[in-house]
């Protein structure tokens, strides 16, 4: 029984090698290959000649907005947005990027920050004070590198189905420490988390299917919750919301019914 197994293994290795060789050219091993999102951001900034008025900083929740919430993200177009969100990142990883060039060569009017949930997700022993300290350092770094920019700091979004979930409670503990980071002159704080919850404090899957990341409906809630403050700080309006699809019946709305949202 061992011989056929060895033969099969050898055949699989040979096949994998052949496929690999077919996909490669002699120059591959000596040609630098772009794989870093940081490098991609730096190229995006250079290609755009730094002409971005609105910068978003965060993790996967921010990163996914242009794709999962395409219609709502498109409303930022008049402000020439730059989305610097990367999936899975913690406060310290964001700090590294900001200190290594992602805030260079740009002069935004507003920087919106929402970060910290991954600190809690990867370390069950992470202390709220540590997460808040990381967020504070990010704010200080943004302000030092972009003193003209107004900063809108958002509380970490709720996660988990109910208020009894451990991770929901840990998020709440961090959020309690964040308002003092705002001075209402250069840094402003908003907790829009309740907008995503129903009247019982539950997080509907119709808004965050995995109880962490918004879908298109969740991003519409996000943009409407921050729109008044952002427009005030920017001094100009967002693009209008897209009209409902023509296939919908008259009077049908694509928005989440208001009765499902907390007041």
Which of 43-57, 156-170, 218-232, 237-251 is least confident? Answer: 237-251
210 catalytic residue (yes or no): yes
Average of pLDDT values for 49-76?
A: 98
State the sign of the Cα–Cα–Cα–Cα dihedral 156, 157, 163, 166: negative
184 catalytic residue (yes or no): no
107 catalytic residue (yes or no): no
Residue 11 has pLDDT above 60, yes or no: no
| Of 60, 143, 172, 198, catalytic | 60
Answering whether pTM is above 0.75, one says yes
Q: Give 72-119 pLDDT, tens digit per residue.
A: 999 999 999 999 999 999 999 999 999 999 999 999 999 999 999 999
Which of 31-35, 36-40, 134-138, 220-224 is least confident? Answer: 31-35
Q: pLDDT value at position 125?
A: 86
Pairing of strands 187-190, 81-85: unpaired
| Of 33, 210, 247, 253, catalytic | 210
Average of pLDDT values for 32-43?
A: 81
Average of pLDDT values for 4-32?
A: 50
Could you tell me the fold of the domain covering 51-234?
Rossmann fold (3.40.50)
251: left (phi over 0), alpha (psi -120 to 50) or beta: left
Q: Give 206-216 pLDDT, tens digit per residue.
A: 999 999 999 99
Q: pLDDT value at position 191?
A: 98
CA distance 179 to 154: 9
Half-sphere exposure in the Cβ direction for 49 (13 Å, CA): 0
| Of 59, 63, 83, 213, catalytic | 213
- Record the tokens describing residue 29, joined without a space: 């091993």
**Helix, strand, coil tally for the chain in percent (to 5):** 50, 10, 40
The counts of H helices and E strands in the chain are 10, 5
Is the separation of the CB atoms in 201 and 165 below 8 Å?
no
Q: 125-135 b/e with 16+ CB inside 10 Å = b?
A: ebebebbbebb
């Amino acid at each position: 029984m061992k011989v056929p197994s060895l033969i099969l293994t050898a055949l699989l290795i040979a096949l994998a090698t052949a496929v690999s060789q077919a996909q490669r050219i002699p120059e591959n091993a000596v040609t630098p290959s772009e794989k870093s999102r940081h490098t991609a951001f730096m190229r995006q900034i250079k290609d755009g000649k730094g002409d971005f008025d609105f910068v978003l900083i965060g993790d996967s929740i921010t990163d996914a907005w242009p794709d999962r919430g395409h219609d709502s993200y498109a409303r930022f177009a008049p402000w020439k947005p730059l989305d610097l969100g990367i999936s899975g990142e913690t406060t310290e990883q964001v700090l590294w990027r900001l200190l290594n060039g992602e805030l260079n060569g740009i002069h935004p009017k507003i920087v919106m920050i929402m970060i910290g949930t991954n600190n809690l997700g990867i370390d069950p022993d992470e202390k709220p004070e540590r997460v808040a300290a990381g967020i504070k350092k990010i704010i200080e770094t943004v302000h030092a590198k972009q003193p003209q920019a107004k900063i809108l700091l958002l509380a970490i979004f709720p996660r988990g189905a109910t208020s009894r979930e451990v991770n929901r409670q840990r998020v709440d503990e961090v959020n309690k420490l964040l308002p003092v980071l705002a001075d209402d002159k250069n840094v402003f704080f908003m907790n829009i988390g309740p907008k995503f919850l129903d009247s019982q404090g539950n997080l509907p899957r119709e808004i965050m299917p995995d109880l962490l990341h918004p879908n298109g409906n969740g991003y519409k809630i996000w943009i409407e919750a921050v729109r008044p403050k952002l427009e005030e700080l920017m001094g100009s309006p967002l693009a209008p919301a897209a009209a409902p699809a023509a296939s919908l019946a008259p009077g049908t709305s694509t928005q989440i019914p208001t009765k499902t949202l907390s007041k």
